[in-house]
Amino acid sequence: MSLEQRLAERSQSTCELCGSTNDLTSFAVEPSDGSLDQSAYLCQTCTTQIENADETNINHWRCLTDSMWSQEPAIQVLAWRQLTRLAGMGEIWAQDALELMYLDDDTTKWAHQGAETDDVEPTLDSNGSPLQAGDNVTLIKDLDVKGAGFTAKRGTVVRGISLTSNPEHIEGRVNGTRIVLVSKFLKKSS
């Protein structure tokens, strides 16, 4: 049985990201050895938008809130990468989905290996460690949160941060409120 046939069987002949049944083909999730476990069965729309970020239709990718729960690591990796891309474009719903998403250590490593890397200045914590979307950080100083009426206390852990276009700022939830934090007042936690 060919790879394409096994993918069609696994996916029940639907796109594993959006559920479409039209123009389906195998897609290698890089870095890939070409095996079933490192491939996905995708429609032409998903394939085109993954390969060409300029053609991204944000509303098409709302399907990821369902497909991110797939049991297939290749689909989890693709969903994580697309959600990360969309969160970087300022889509709050995508960042919220990333905060809910769970990847095991091997899948997380795989997702980061093939993720796009732009020549953008990295966001660094107070110790100079690079921060990435989805990291957890700890506040190293009490911070007054303007407009929210509370102080974010030193030692507070902010889980699943998102990066902004400014490398000195990150976004995260503190006391249930989404706020922007200055990276020099944070340290990366495990």
- Domains of the chain in start order, with CATH, are 3-113 (no CATH), 123-189 (2.30.30.40)
Q: In this model, does residue 115 exceed pLDDT 80?
A: no
Q: How far is CA 84 from CA 16, 19, 64, 137, 152, in A?
A: 18, 20, 11, 18, 26
DSSP character for 101?
-
**Rounded Cα distance, 134 and 188, in Å:** 11
**Rounded Cα distance, 52 and 72, in Å:** 24
Mean pLDDT of 83-99: 87
Can you give the pLDDT at residue 120? 58
Token pair listed for 140: 């190293």
Q: Is the Cα torsion angle 9, 10, 12, 16 positive or negative in sign?
A: negative
Q: In this model, does residue 119 exceed pLDDT 50?
A: no
Cβ–Cβ contacts within 10 Å for residue 52, how many?
Answer: 9
pLDDT tens for each residue of 25-72:
999 999 888 899 999 999 999 999 999 888 889 999 999 999 999 999
Q: In this model, does residue 86 exceed pLDDT 70?
A: yes
* Closest to 167 in 3D by CA, of 136, 137, 133, 124: 124
Can you give the pLDDT at residue 188? 92
pTM of structure: 0.64
Can you give the pLDDT at residue 1? 85
Contact present, 99 and 172 (Cβ < 8 Å): no
Average pLDDT, the chain: 89
pLDDT tens for each residue of 128-166:
888 888 889 999 999 888 877 889 999 999 998 888 878
The SS3 of residue 7 is helix
